[in-house]
Amino acid sequence: MNAATPVRDVLHRLLDGTGQRAEVPGWLDQLLAPLATAASETVERDLLPEVADALRRLGGAVPFRVVHDWYHRAVLPTLADATAEAGGDPRAFDALRRTHAEASEGRVAEEAAWRRELEPVLLLVYRNAFPYADFHRKAYRLAYADAVGHGRAPAEASRFAENSARRMADIDAACFAEANALANARALASAYATADAVAYRATYPSARVNAYLDAYAHHLAPRDPATCRRAAAERLAVGLALGLRTTKR
């Protein structure tokens, strides 16, 4: 599968002759798209056959609790592993992971509890998803040129530019993380507490998946970002495939 072969086209081929239409629930479609972009081979080989099988087996009605299983099984462990490798505390994801595990078994937490556990995790995710190195590099160039233009010696200009770039990057990263974390936590807490698949889809899950992939890649810098994104997407795809394989009505 490549960029010219949409997920739905592959599913149509897999379901051809089965009598089941390739109508993927909107929330699931939003999870598949960014994974297919980052790890097309794994998605086509391991994930889409499971999607097709689930659609056949469940008559197209894939239950929303698959989302919770996916977060418990794949998303949060993947982020925790990257955090640990970067020297952070992977336990920051434990409470939310437990809540997702319980929800996947039908014990859904109240909205306030979801929000309380989502906010700190999403703050970490969006802080790490922020393109800090690129922002710092651009800010440094501008600050250095400005300092030299005002007559500062190169060494002094470099110190000034480094301090300015770090301060600007820290402020922008914090604002980016807070704005995205708070908005997403509110919307997700409501959707999760009510098991509302339509509301969940309206929270733009595909954008959040891309944030997870970015956070994973930035954690593992200076490794190649595309390679890291693909590795993360492969783990998430395999985890979603396993959840679909074991789900029932």
- Distance in angstroms (rounded) separating the CA atoms of residues 199 and 46: 28
Would you state the pLDDT for residue 223?
80
H-type alpha helices, the chain: 7-15, 26-38, 40-42, 48-57, 65-70, 76-85, 94-104, 111-129, 132-149, 154-193, 197-201, 205-219, 225-246
Q: Nearest to residue 210, comparing CAs of 45, 29, 25, 33?
A: 33
Token pair in block for residue 32? 């598949």
Would you state the pLDDT for residue 230?
94
The predicted model scores a pTM of 0.89
Residue 44 is classified by DSSP as I
Q: Nearest to residue 28, comparing CAs of 13, 7, 3?
A: 7
Per-residue pLDDT of the chain (249 residues; tens, 9 = 90+): 554 457 878 877 888 767 666 578 899 999 999 999 999 999 999 999 999 999 888 888 899 999 999 999 999 999 999 999 888 999 999 999 999 999 999 999 999 999 999 999 999 999 999 999 999 999 999 999 999 999 999 999 999 999 999 999 999 999 999 999 999 999 999 999 999 999 999 999 999 999 999 999 987 777 888 899 999 999 999 999 999 999 876
- Distance in angstroms (rounded) separating the CA atoms of residues 114 and 102: 12
Would you state the pLDDT for residue 220?
79
Q: Nearest to residue 27, comparing CAs of 57, 59, 53, 63?
A: 63
- Distance in angstroms (rounded) separating the CA atoms of residues 240 and 135: 33
- Distance in angstroms (rounded) separating the CA atoms of residues 152 and 161: 11
CB 42 within 8 A of CB 236: no
- Extents of the domains making up the chain: 1-101+197-249, 109-194
**What is the greatest pairwise CA distance in the chain?**
75
SS3 54: helix
Would you state the pLDDT for residue 183?
97
